[in-house]
Amino acid sequence: MLELRNINKRFGPETALESVSMEIGAGEIHGLVGLNGSGKSTLLNILFGSTTIQETGGYDGTYLLDGRVRRFSSPCQAIRCGIGMVHQEFALIPEMTVAENILISREKGYPFIDALFPRQFSLVDRTSSAMAARQTLHRLNLDLDPDQTTGRLSMNVRQFIEIAREISRDDLRLLLLDEPTAILNTADTDQLLTTLRSLADKGIAILFVSHRLQEILQLCDRLTVLREGRVVSCCAARDSSIDTVTRLMVRESVVKVSRTQRHTDSPPILSVRDFRVRMAGEELHGLDLDVHRNEILGIISLSGHGKLAFGAGVIGQVPFCGRLRLAGEDCSSSPCAAMIRKGLFFLSEERSQLGLLLQHTIMDNIVFAALHHNKRFHHPHWPHWLQVPDQKAIRRHAEHCIAEYDIRCTGPLQSVGNLSGGNQQKVRIAHALTLSPQLLIVNEPTRGIDIAAKERILNLFLDVNHSEGTTIVIASSELDELKRICDRIAVLYRGRLHAILDPAADDLLFTQAISGEPVLQ
Amino acid sequence: MESLARRCNPVTLLFAVLSLAALSVSGMRPAFVCNEIITRFIRDGVMVLALIIPVTAGMGLNFAIVVGAICAQVGLVLAVDYQLPGAESLLLIAAVGVTLSVILGYFIGVCLNRARGREMITTILIGFLATSIYQLVFMVGYGTIITPHNTEMMLSRGTGIRNMVDLQHFRNLLDSIWLVHLGEIEIPLFMFLVVCGMAATVKYILHTRLGKHFAAVGFRGDRVELLGLDSSRIRIMAIVLSTVIACLGHIIFIQNIGMLNVYTAHLNTDIFSCAALLAGGATVSEARVRHALIGIVLFHTLFVVSPQAGQNLFGNPALGEYFRSFVAYGTIAVALVCNLQRRGADGILNRQKDRDR
Amino acid sequence: MNAPRQHIPQLVIALFLALMMGGAIWLKIPLSWVINDALVRLAMNGVLVLSLVPMLNAGIGINFGLPVAVVAGLLGMCLTVNWKMTGLTGFVAAVLMAAVIAVIFGSVFGRILNRVRGREEITATFIGFSFIPLTNFFWATAPFTNPAMLWPIGGKGMRPTIGLKSSFAKILNDFLPLEIGPFVIPCGLLLFFACSCLLVHLFFRSATGKAMQAVGENEGYARLCGIDIDWMRQLATILSTVIGAVGICVYAQSYGFIELYDAPMMLAFPAASALLIGGSIAGRTSVLNVIIGTFLFHTMYILSGPLANDLLVPEMAEIFRLLLTNGVILFAMLHAGGRNGKPCPAM
């Protein structure tokens, strides 16, 4: 029923999907697995006609639905063709009732008024809407008052409402499920899987994306494994085991651990206890972690399990609860500025949104924070309180940085917006190091960067750590990079510390730890 | 008790207290005040109702209802120009006004879709711009490019329409139907029912499929596309409906007054309507028909009595006048500050999410 | 980036100006009069336009709450007139007092605007609008004693227009006038305007100014760099208010009258329009935009009067000015805001 042929998708210089082909038949449940960044969400976005795909330049390849070529430019069109999607971060409207959410755009009307007025202008029949909603919820074995507001319900109930919205459609042909079981407990998961099975028996095709391999193997007829935007395997679920699939998901690579030095016994520079950060989509629910002086600590987790929230919480971008000690001092409620003065700096994963002043020059960007937090670049002849910048010193420093960090540009006065991603990242690191911080927290330092710049940046971290003794924490989803430069790697799962592993450990062990399976050390 | 306190909006309460205080200070006869309020309820009621739909659709206060008023005035001027008799002219006015407001409403909607997040300031500017264009057409265009049929309404120099056009054909044409006397109080029952009918229509629209979609777009404008709703189209619909209702409201307003102040009648309709709606307890993100009806009564009570109260209190009627305009502008300012403050934390989160996307 | 699109208003205005100039020459309107007037109006309105820059660069948007600043300036001037200070002392005293009052107003105004993130423009508009009737109350009851300012009959309440002839009218205009043939260049006035521009320019070169610009360009980034965003925004509002207050002093001395009551209500719109015509981009508005914009806008303002008088209906000039003022701002709104109009970050 659904057929994809050679789908290619690029985001700027980065390739997200490379000649992906797959087929799903009517009544088939097809599993889609892959690590973060393997292109699963991009594929779902293409299937559902998400507008971000159009805005970033569309995709190449053929998308056939029932033998007809489709190219959706908005989800509306996809929905009209019978595609439904269950979103990971719910497309529910919390202010509206359960019935309204389930039946949105398919509200039941009174037949008499429907005949009298155009469809859009006919009154919604609340009782029959509630009835229809209740029936759908019954199919999911959920007894719930359809007239209550959705926002007050618990997360797993909302997940079921999200599913109910899709299965209540009569014209549903293809259902896309993005991690529907991530927040469900075992009983609820079983309930969901049964429902999906019965849906498939009615001839609806289902594409099921999950990180839980067990479910996939249990539920699906066939499964496709994505790795780095490519289909590495497409096989029947019966013939696979968790072990084989995991091996397919992880790239077979020989990683040389380049670090031999160990600092784990030095005193902690930063320690957090019961650290909770409410960052949208990346929550931490009580993390206990020590960062030792002079080490490079890696943090890895699936997206949504909290690795990005660590730095944001520590610096104060997002408020946190719990205890935080920096260099032995308790600073549980310090604003950003105070943390920076104490020698901490944070580079967010949002390179262009939160990382740079794109319209300003390289020079301005490099010295921006330093200009504010120390007197290094203040003009010596003017009183300090006037904060007159010493342009010559700034320029000298910028030129030094450009040479030192190998920033490819036309000069310190070039606008940062015109640089490539890798060079922008180097400017950010130069910016951070201009402050000479004791502790640097970096989120996703190599995301969206070409291979040469990646190497350069990783080496830069090693150099700085070695020569200046800067402690570095790197939160990243690139396991092999972390393994190359880190002294220890912390694995987070569901917002908590799951394990601290040695970088030399086996890839398989890492993969298991990341997906939450118990790890024995 | 607690629920009552929660339901009672502090703004509404303040208005009620102020109106009562001003009423007692002014020493005006309650029957007179009552008559005035009924007249104004009929005059301005529909205009206030026009604001409800855009608020529900998350676009804030629609100051561009001025454009609806302009459409009505265009219809009126044409009716006077062609010198049609009462009832026929009313039909012509309505037809011209509604057609024009559908077209202009569509364009306003397109503009607002381009200016997401700052709709209110954009509607204000659209209102100003429309006023300028309207004045240009009728002050300069009439008599130069457009040939008038009725020379009586032209200025003596031959170009431009007079400031005041007398609408004797249909002065109080509708108001006089079913006029009921209750002691000293006169109630034009038919018009009263028309306003209530309009209120019912707005309430009906809010409960139709389209109304539900308005609400969905208003709550989560960024998510509804995932649900298969075309948010741009729905927002345009909201503005078109609002403009049409405003146009009808302005026709009622002018036939009640019986004179057309060609260049100034539509000015400030937006401010007063918005202030009235907010006085009734609506906010920038939530408005119900109830708020509009309560708001008109409260706001106009204060409006009617404040000059006299100012005279009695300070011996200066101008002070009452200043107080009046302060109330109109101040209500909107306060509503903007308070309402956004309450949603502040949520708003920042949403903006953060917008950036993430 | 779509550079040509950014410049549409400027191109249209420049074209229009050229057309009008042609018309003026055809109608034999003396060129010297046009240029003299244009220079005076440039400096006279320039400071008011300049006052929008700090807030625009701090990401608060166009300050439609300019009436707040103007009222501060009016208060300062009224106090000096009341105390019968005249000449240069009077003007300097007026400016200083206006600035002090503006600091107070601005800090309150800034605090309010910090509460309404994301919709500062509409809130500022209505704070400005509602501030006017509030001050009308004050003007009508203020305990000023100089009879030149009060109603001649009754002696209570301020007059709507107060002549400055006996205090400091034209004090800058008549300072160092340079006459070259038929042209009179008001050096004093221009010098004052140039100094204000220079000060603002230098401010944005300092560390604080850069931080303010960073807040405007990327609030999240500025926060991560440890900048106190609320304070920066408040500072920008205070600066805008102070410059606006000084601006109305300059305007009033050049005009020769203080206009009270409803006069300041709509002042923000022509100023905003002038700035936008100057090609201002939110967050990166420079002093140059102010000068170009004010010059274009006000030259057109001057020319439209006699042209409309001679060619068409006299009211046409006023309607036309309003049309242009609001049209330019609306155009800028539709291009700067919203999902469809957002300038993409350059890759």
Q: pLDDT (tens digit, 9 = 90+) per residue, A159-175?
A: 888 888 888 888 888 99
Q: Are residues A470 and A503 in the same domain?
A: yes
pLDDT confidence bin for A520, thresholds 50/70/90: low
List pLDDT tens digits, range B223-242.
888 888 888 999 999 999 99
Single out the residue in A436, A461, A476 at which a domain terminates.
A436
Nearest Cα neighbor of C144 from C96, C200, C195, C81 is: C81
Half-sphere exposure of residue A191: CA atoms within 13 angstroms, side-chain side: 17
List pLDDT tens digits, range B45-73.
999 999 999 999 988 899 999 999 999 99
Contact B171, B160 (CB under 8 A): no
Q: b/e per residue, A113-130, with b = 16+ CB within 10 A?
A: ebeeeeeebbbbbbebbb
Structural domains counted in chain A: 4
Domain enclosing residue B311, as ranges: 2-356
Calculate the CA dihedral of residues A396, A401, A402, A404 and round it to 10 degrees: 120
CB atoms within 10 A of CB A191: 16
The verdict on residue A61 lying in a domain is: yes
Cα B256 from chain centroid?
Answer: 15
Q: Taking CB atoms and an 8 Å limit, are A74 and B212 in contact across chains? A: no
On average, the pLDDT of chain B sits at 84
Q: Under an 8 Å CB criterion, which residues of A touch C?
A: 12, 315, 317, 335-341, 346, 348, 350, 352-360, 364, 368-369, 371-373, 378, 386-389, 415, 417-418
Distance CA B316, CA B19 (A): 19
Instruction: Count the helices and strands in chain C (H runs, E runs).
Output: 15, 4
Q: Are residues A69 and A120 in the same domain?
A: no
**Amino acid, res. B116:** R
Instruction: Quote the ipTM score.
Output: 0.86
Q: Which of B132, B159, B160 sits opposite C323 (nearest CB)?
A: B132
Q: Which of C225, C228, C283 sits opposite A368 (nearest CB)?
A: C225
Give, for B278, the enclosing helix (H) or strand (E): helix B269-279
pLDDT of residue B337 exceeding 80: yes
Q: Are residues A271 and A289 in the same domain?
A: yes
B126 touching chain C per CB within 8 A: yes
Give, for C178, the enclosing helix (H) or strand (E): strand C177-180
A73, A95, A103, A443, best to mutate vs chain B, most B CBs in 10 Å: A95
Give the closest-approach CA distance of C103 to chain B in angstroms.
Answer: 21
Q: Taking CB atoms and an 8 Å limit, are C226 and A348 in contact across chains? A: no
Mean pLDDT, rounded, for B206-232: 87
The verdict on residue A258 lying in a domain is: no
pLDDT at B341: 46
Distance CA A414, CA A363 (A): 8
pLDDT at B321: 83
Q: Taking CB atoms and an 8 Å limit, are C121 and B133 in contact across chains? A: no
pLDDT at A518: 77
Domain enclosing residue A462, as ranges: 266-343+439-520
Mean pLDDT, rounded, for C41-52: 91
Q: Taking CB atoms and an 8 Å limit, are A119 and B209 in contact across chains? A: yes
Chains that contact B by 3+ CB pairs under 8 Å?
A, C
Contact B175, B166 (CB under 8 A): no
Domains contained in chain C, CATH given: 2-340 (1.10.3470)
**Could you identify the residue written with the tokens 């949105």?**
A104
For A370, name the nearest residue in chain C, comparing CA atoms only. Answer: C225
The CATH code of the domain that includes B103 is 1.10.3470
For B217, name the nearest residue in chain A, comparing CA atoms only. Answer: A93
The verdict on residue A261 lying in a domain is: no
Contacts of C205 in chain A (CB under 8 A): 388-389
The verdict on residue A64 lying in a domain is: yes
pLDDT at C335: 77
- C239-to-A491, B335, C57, C269 alpha-carbon distances in Å: 49, 26, 12, 19
Contacts of B131 in chain C (CB under 8 A): 322
Instruction: Count the helices and strands in chain A (H runs, E runs).
Output: 19, 20
pLDDT at C346: 27
Instruction: Count the helices and strands in chain B (H runs, E runs).
Output: 14, 4
Q: Which of A317, A335, A364 sits opposite C210 (nearest CB)?
A: A364
Q: Are residues A53 and A9 in the same domain?
A: yes
Contacts of A354 in chain B (CB under 8 A): 355
Q: Taking CB atoms and an 8 Å limit, are B209 and A91 in contact across chains? A: no
DSSP lists the bridge partners of residue B153 as none
Give the closest-approach CA distance of C193 to chain B in angstroms.
Answer: 29
pLDDT at C283: 61
Q: Taking CB atoms and an 8 Å limit, are A417 and C220 in contact across chains? A: no
On average, the pLDDT of chain C sits at 84
Contact C248, C105 (CB under 8 A): no
The verdict on residue A259 lying in a domain is: no
Q: Are residues A201 and A131 in the same domain?
A: no
Q: Taking CB atoms and an 8 Å limit, are A75 and B225 in contact across chains? A: yes
Residue B46 phi/psi, 5-degree rounding, is -65, -35
List pLDDT tens digits, range A349-389.
877 778 888 888 888 888 888 888 877 788 888 777 777 88
Give the closest-approach CA distance of C92 to chain A in angstroms.
Answer: 24
pLDDT of residue B344 exceeding 70: no
Q: Are residues A357 and A291 in the same domain?
A: no
pLDDT confidence bin for C131, thresholds 50/70/90: very high
Q: Taking CB atoms and an 8 Å limit, are B159 and C134 in contact across chains? A: no
List pLDDT tens digits, range C246-274.
999 999 988 888 888 888 888 899 999 99
pLDDT at C198: 94
List pLDDT tens digits, range C56-94.
888 888 899 999 999 999 999 999 988 888 888 888 999
Q: Taking CB atoms and an 8 Å limit, are A94 and B219 in contact across chains? A: yes
pLDDT at B353: 36
Distance CA B218, CA B231 (A): 9
**Which of C37-41, C279-283, C326-330 has the least mean pLDDT?**
C279-283
pLDDT at C97: 93
pLDDT confidence bin for B89, thresholds 50/70/90: confident
Q: Taking CB atoms and an 8 Å limit, are A120 and B353 in contact across chains? A: no
The verdict on residue A189 lying in a domain is: yes
Q: Taking CB atoms and an 8 Å limit, are A94 and B207 in contact across chains? A: no
On average, the pLDDT of chain A sits at 83
DSSP characters over C316-333: HHHHHHHHHHHHHHHHHH
pLDDT at A468: 84
Distance CA C9, CA C279 (A): 8
**Could you identify the residue written with the tokens 């804030």?**
B60
DSSP lists the bridge partners of residue A230 as A227
Instruction: List helix spans (H) across A148-227.
Output: 155-167, 186-201, 213-219
Q: Taking CB atoms and an 8 Å limit, are B219 and A93 in contact across chains? A: yes
Give, for A222, the enclosing helix (H) or strand (E): strand A222-227
Distance CA A434, CA A431 (A): 5
C221, C228, C229, C342, best to mutate vs chain A, most A CBs in 10 Å: C221
What single-letter DSSP state applies at residue A267? P
Structural domains counted in chain B: 1
pLDDT of residue A213 exceeding 50: yes
The verdict on residue A260 lying in a domain is: no
The verdict on residue A118 lying in a domain is: yes
Please report, rounded to a whole number, the percentage of residues in chain C having pLDDT higher than 90: 28
Q: Taking CB atoms and an 8 Å limit, are C123 and B340 in contact across chains? A: yes
pLDDT confidence bin for C4, thresholds 50/70/90: low
DSSP lists the bridge partners of residue A226 as A231
Contacts of B341 in chain C (CB under 8 A): 115-116
The CATH code of the domain that includes A1 is 3.40.50.300
Single out the residue in A226, A253, A280 at which a domain terminates.
A253
Could you give the angle at which helices C315-336 and C268-277 cross, rounded to 10 degrees? 60
Contacts of A341 in chain C (CB under 8 A): 226
pLDDT of residue C344 exceeding 60: no
pLDDT confidence bin for C339, thresholds 50/70/90: very low
Chains that contact C by 3+ CB pairs under 8 Å?
A, B
List pLDDT tens digits, range B155-203.
877 778 888 887 776 776 777 777 788 777 888 888 889 999 999 999 9
Q: Supply B272's token pair.
A: 């007063």
End-to-end CA distance of chain C: 10
